[in-house]
């Protein structure tokens, strides 16, 4: 199934809405925030029967919003983000092809504060991410697995600004795909040569993010 941009956004919002509704009303102390940052991508290798293609590492960005739900040390933080993977280059035997790759993502983090009731509160988190990927390259779009699931872990610090409810939140997160980025056995073109992967390595990324919570 090929998703349009509108359908991907609707799916992302549906996942976010389901997460918000799953939190009991008496626990739903919601704090809204926005965040943006840089992502450093390692999309890995694609093995074919007689060749191997590899992605050059790329640097992109992401921007979105989140809701921190719950009170106390443990909370649930769903969000919706637009992620640009940067200038992605796929290389195979001297041939290469560049493509623009983006995703609409819905992370659901479970956050644990290491220090409670402090102006400087470190925390750790882990959780799944549902992503809806797309590319402007028709050949890659046909082979791309548009619905992806990955796992994120990381940590950060909440820095509450004096005299306000606003907090600055720098964090680092590590992402690893659970589903494969491309469909095995789907053929696409690299500089005029057909390439059919039979094994696709997991996608990894490091993200540096700064958020503002209101």
pLDDT, tens digit, 9 for 90 and up, residues 164-202: 889 999 999 999 999 988 877 788 888 788 888 888 888
Q: Smallest Cα–Cα separation from 132: which of 141, 124, 122, 121?
A: 141
Residue 99 near residue 137, CB atoms below 8 Å: yes
Q: What are phi and psi of 202, to 5 degrees?
A: -65, 155
Tell me what percent of the residues of the chain surpass a pLDDT of 70. 86
Q: Smallest Cα–Cα separation from 155: which of 110, 194, 198, 197?
A: 110
Q: Is the pLDDT of residue 112 over 70?
A: yes
Average pLDDT score over residue span 137-156: 89
Residue 78 near residue 19, CB atoms below 8 Å: yes
Name every residue whose Cβ is closer than 8 Å to that of residue 122 and which is 6 or more positions away in sequence.
113, 114, 115, 155, 156, 157, 158
Q: Is the pLDDT of residue 157 over 90?
A: yes
Q: Which domains does the chain have, with CATH numbers?
A: 5-213 (2.40.160.20)
- Pick 168 or 140 by higher pLDDT: 168
Residue 76 near residue 19, CB atoms below 8 Å: yes
Q: Is the pLDDT of residue 15 over 80?
A: no
Q: Smallest Cα–Cα separation from 156: which of 210, 90, 87?
A: 210
Is residue 16 very low, low, confident or very high in pLDDT (cuts 50, 70, 90)?
low
- Between CA 110 and CA 79 the distance in angstroms is 12
132 half-sphere exposure, CB direction, 13 A CA radius:
20
User: The pTM is what?
Assistant: 0.85
Q: What angle do CA 178, 179, 181 make, to 5 degrees?
A: 120
pLDDT, tens digit, 9 for 90 and up, residues 17-72: 655 555 554 455 678 999 999 999 999 898 888 788 999 999 999 999 999 988 78
């Amino acid at each position: 199934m090929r998703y349009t941009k509108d359908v991907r956004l609707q799916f992302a919002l549906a996942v976010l809405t389901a997460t918000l509704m799953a939190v009991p009303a008496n626990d739903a102390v919601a704090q809204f925030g926005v965040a943006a940052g840089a992502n450093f991508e390692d999309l890995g290798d694609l093995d074919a029967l007689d060749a191997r293609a590899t992605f050059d590492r790329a640097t992109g960005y992401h921007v979105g919003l989140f809701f921190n739900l719950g009170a106390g040390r443990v909370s649930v933080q769903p969000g919706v983000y637009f992620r640009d993977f940067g200038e992605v280059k796929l290389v195979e035997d001297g041939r290469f092809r560049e493509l623009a790759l983006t995703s609409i993502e819905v992370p659901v983090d479970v956050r644990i504060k290491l220090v409670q009731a402090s102006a400087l509160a470190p925390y750790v988190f882990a959780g799944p991410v549902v992503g809806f990927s797309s590319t402007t390259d028709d050949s890659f779009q046909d082979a791309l697995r548009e619905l992806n699931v990955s796992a994120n872990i990381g940590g950060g610090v909440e820095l509450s600004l004096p005299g306000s409810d606003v907090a600055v939140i720098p964090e680092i997160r590590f992402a690893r795909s659970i589903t494969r980025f491309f469909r095995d056995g789907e053929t696409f073109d690299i500089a005029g040569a057909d390439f059919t992967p039979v094994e696709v390595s997991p996608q990894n990324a490091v993200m540096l993010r700064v958020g503002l919570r209101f």
